[in-house]
Amino acid sequence: MLPACRTREMSSFKVMDVLEAAQAMEARGEHVVHLEIGEPDFDTPEPVKRAAIRAIEEGKTHYTHSLGLPELREAIAADYLARYGVDVDPARILVTSGTSPAMLLMFGALLEAGDEVIVSDPCYACYRNFIRFVDGVPVPVPVSAEDGFQLHADAVAARLTPRTRAVLVNSPANPTGTLLSAGRMAGLAGLGTLICSDEIYHGLVYEGREHSILEFTDKAFVLGGFSKLYAMTGWRLGWLVAPEPYMDCLRKAAQNLFISAGSVAQWAGLAALTQCADDVERMRRTYDERRRFMIGRLREIGFGLACEPTGAFYVLADARRWTSDSLAFAFEILAEAKVGVTPGSDFGPGGEGFIRFSYANSIENIAEGLSRVERYLASRPPRP
Ligand SMILES: Cc1ncc(COP(=O)(O)O)c(C=O)c1O
């Protein structure tokens, strides 16, 4: 009766553990401020909702092509051209029920058992579990706050082996909110290894600009999604851009494993791409105000920020003056200050001693949450 080790040995997603503990406190009548969740607090833009309702009324409620609606795939391709000046053939785009299934299909098509994927440490917590789920091996390469938490081609080159299949990049990144410069991306592309680029936070950039890996190489898979930029987490919609030789296998895998992404969500996604520029800009400006506020307050409280995040909606703050056990510290802050935060260790050993704060919450809630943290930490002795 033992579950397979593929799932048995999977680490839990610690942010969900914190969230579930916070929800149990709320069920007991306690008030918790949520700075742990990586989910937009905004409502989905109106044009998206209207498109979904129209799709339902018009009976567009059936399976779609396994690769996704042609209209949506063309709109995604048009978006790459408009944003980055890169030509993507819609035939290379596979629409999925969120970026997460796209990741599963990508690693499934890419990795034989024992094949290695280079990831940064820290990085998005689920990457290593996706890689292991298909019997691959995540190879962490440490990155530092002083260096913007981003991979450097030289450090990656030193970890390449005959089993290396790909290098995974994520810019803007979760949990650090930092971006890869064009130079760094070009350097990584220049290694000649396949690049898997998770571009789900594209569009949520407050200083400088983000680059698609496709500006530098065609030898790349790109993960994209609607969850973050369009506040559509619950709609479950994303996509994968893959090199042409992989498309036939990816289509077969998508047919077998998922049949198609949801039709209503796909029509809604088309409206997101074509009718929501103003909504996106409104949300982006609001995130930016919150980002500036949060950075200032975290520094006042005494958290270390060697580099300022300029994208996504996270700050990975150095808490080592208080702790070397970020998981215990996060649960302590939850219990004592009634604020949900994410332990940096969730993102790999390199995140240990750090806490991720999300600013996908109102400025009032961020202010209240950080004041609670400040009051609690003022009464708590620093590490000996
Ligand atoms: C870096 C990164 N990639 C992928 C995902 C998964 O997103 P989706 O909701 O599209 O499955 C997340 C969600 O938090 C993320 O932070």
Instruction: Please work out whether the CB of residue 176 comes within 6 Å of at least one atom of ligand 1.
Output: no
Is residue 255's pLDDT more than 90?
yes
Distance from the alpha carbon of residue 74 to the mean position of ligand 1, in angstroms: 22
Average pLDDT, rounded, for the chain: 96
Q: 238-241 and 220-225 as β-strands: parallel, antiparallel, unpaired? A: antiparallel
Strands (E), 182-243: 194-198, 220-225, 238-241
Q: So what's the pLDDT on residue 93?
A: 98
Instruction: Please work out whether the CB of residue 44 comes within 6 Å of at least one atom of ligand 1.
Output: no
Nearest CA to ligand 1 atom 7: 99
Domains present along the chain, CATH in parentheses: 5-43+278-377 (3.90.1150.10), 46-276 (3.40.640.10)
Instruction: Please work out whether the CB of residue 100 comes within 6 Å of at least one atom of ligand 1.
Output: yes
Instruction: Please work out whether the CB of residue 227 comes within 6 Å of at least one atom of ligand 1.
Output: yes
> Considering Cα of 116, then 120, then 126, then 129, what sign does the dihedral take?
positive
Distance from the alpha carbon of residue 376 to the mean position of ligand 1, in angstroms: 31
Tokens, residue 31:
């008030």
Q: So what's the pLDDT on residue 278?
A: 98
Is residue 348's pLDDT more than 70?
yes
Is residue 333's pLDDT more than 90?
yes
Instruction: Please work out whether the CB of residue 238 comes within 6 Å of at least one atom of ligand 1.
Output: yes
Q: So what's the pLDDT on residue 84?
A: 97
Instruction: Please work out whether the CB of residue 309 comes within 6 Å of at least one atom of ligand 1.
Output: no
Residue-wise pLDDT tens digits, 365-381: 999 999 999 999 999 87
Nearest CA to ligand 1 atom 13: 38
Instruction: Please work out whether the CB of residue 98 comes within 6 Å of at least one atom of ligand 1.
Output: yes
Is residue 384's pLDDT more than 70?
no
Distance from the alpha carbon of residue 116 to the mean position of ligand 1, in angstroms: 21
Instruction: Please work out whether the CB of residue 279 comes within 6 Å of at least one atom of ligand 1.
Output: no
Tell me the mean pLDDT in the region 204-229.
Answer: 97
Query: In ligand 1, which atom is closest to the CA atom of 237?
Result: 10
What is 268-317 written as a DSSP string? HHHHHHHH-HHHHHHHHHHHHHHHHHHHHHHHHHT-B-SS---BTTEEEE
Instruction: Please work out whether the CB of residue 99 comes within 6 Å of at least one atom of ligand 1.
Output: yes
Residue-wise pLDDT tens digits, 163-202: 999 999 999 999 999 999 999 999 999 999 999 999 999 9
Q: So what's the pLDDT on residue 202?
A: 98
Kindly tell me the burial class for residue 249, based on how many C-beta atoms sit within 10 Å of its own C-beta (0-12, 13-18, 19 or more). middle
Cα angle for residues 199, 317, 203 (degrees, 5° grid): 25
Query: In ligand 1, which atom is closest to the CA atom of 99?
Result: 10
Instruction: Compute the distance between CA of residue 326 and CA of residue 80 in angstroms, rounded to an integer.
Output: 38
pTM of the predicted model as reported, rounded to 2 decimal places: 0.96
Distance from the alpha carbon of residue 307 to the mean position of ligand 1, in angstroms: 23
Q: What letter represents residue 102's amino acid?
A: A
Strands (E), the chain: 33-34, 93-96, 116-121, 137-142, 164-170, 194-198, 220-225, 238-241, 314-318, 339-340, 342-343, 354-358
Instruction: Please work out whether the CB of residue 358 comes within 6 Å of at least one atom of ligand 1.
Output: no
Q: Is 266 helix (H, G, I), strand (E, B) or coil?
A: helix
Length of the chain equals 384
Query: In ligand 1, which atom is closest to the CA atom of 226?
Result: 10
Instruction: Please work out whether the CB of residue 124 comes within 6 Å of at least one atom of ligand 1.
Output: yes
Q: Taking the CA of residue 371 as centre, how many other CA atoms within 13 Å lie in the half-sphere pointing to its CB?
A: 6
Tokens, residue 97:
């029920």
Distance from the alpha carbon of residue 98 to the mean position of ligand 1, in angstroms: 8
Instruction: Please work out whether the CB of residue 171 comes within 6 Å of at least one atom of ligand 1.
Output: no
Tokens, residue 364:
């009032």
CB neighbour list of residue 113: distance below 8 Å, 6 or more residues apart: 135, 136
Instruction: Please work out whether the CB of residue 148 comes within 6 Å of at least one atom of ligand 1.
Output: no
Q: So what's the pLDDT on residue 10?
A: 87
Residue-wise pLDDT tens digits, 1-34: 889 988 888 888 888 889 999 999 999 999 999 9
Distance from the alpha carbon of residue 100 to the mean position of ligand 1, in angstroms: 6
Distance from the alpha carbon of residue 52 to the mean position of ligand 1, in angstroms: 22
Q: At 71, is the pLDDT very low, low, confident or very high (cuts 50, 70, 90)?
A: very high
CB neighbour list of residue 19: distance below 8 Å, 6 or more residues apart: 34, 36, 37, 340
Q: So what's the pLDDT on residue 41?
A: 95
Distance from the alpha carbon of residue 360 to the mean position of ligand 1, in angstroms: 14
